[in-house]
Structure 1
């Protein structure tokens, strides 16, 4: 069994943002030569997540609106009294409770086994940020 670690680096431009990283993940699977196995993606941040969902512009806006309503940025949060990095971002940490930090996707015949409407998203919850990272672990047979 082969194992490989790679990274996807990206920047975000909005407080809450969904970025489709499906093409980047496919590139890494193809470059690895992996034929059968598993790709695991993990956000390296406590205020950003990885998610499988449909890539449709209006739905993405609905998701952003939903997240903003679920945990408002201007709530009365203790974490904002003494933030670790001078960011009032308790809302982003709380939103993270409702999403996965990682996703695992099977690989067969060199391709991702995603459903017809599934795409892979990096979900920013505390943007904008100049540098974000997703770790990509590829395991399997070439």
Structure 2
């Protein structure tokens, strides 16, 4: 299988995807590239160091730049063509602007070629939700 669609329930802002990625490429021979992609607009995929204070710094920075008390046009549900119960999440969309929706990781003989401190994260900017992640592998 060269593609996997999986659903993850985000229970925190930073969800480590390394184990899912490692399991997906296990047993693949030779060299290739793994792409990890999220199918949503209020979360992201990013390789970061899995260090709790760094993750707190990132969260604090984003909260200062894009707080949820700002007057975002996206939050004006009454003038948009959407259901009235639509989420008020303009700040989540703005936070996502700082991050990609996918990352590519080189693979050699079934092993991710990540650096010592690198972790593939799903970063959640909206409340706890189910998120669809697509992992795809291309042999080189």
Runs of 4+ in structure 1 off by over 2 angstroms are none
Partner of 1:135: 134
For structure 1, the 5+ residue unaligned runs are none
| 1:16-31 map, 5 Å | 17-30=13-26
Which of residues 44, 55, 59 in structure 1 aligns to 2:54? 59
Question: Structure 2: 5+ residue runs without aligned partners?
Answer: none
Q: Which residue, out of 63, 70, 86, partners 1:68? A: 63
TM-score (norm 2): 0.89
CA RMSD after TM alignment: 1.7
Does the C-alpha gap of structure 1 residues 34 and 93 become closer, same or farther in structure 2, counting only changes over 3 Å?
A: farther
1:1-27 Cα offsets, whole Å, 9 max, x none, are: xx711023211234xx01111111101
Partner residue in 2 for 1:115: 115
Deviates more, 1:54-63 or 1:39-48: 54-63
Q: 2:43 aligns with which of 30, 48, 51?
A: 48
In 2, distance between residues paired with 1:43 and 1:34?
25
Aligned length: 135
Output the TM-score relative to the length of structure 1.
0.87
Q: 1: distance between equivalents of 2:108 and 2:115?
A: 13
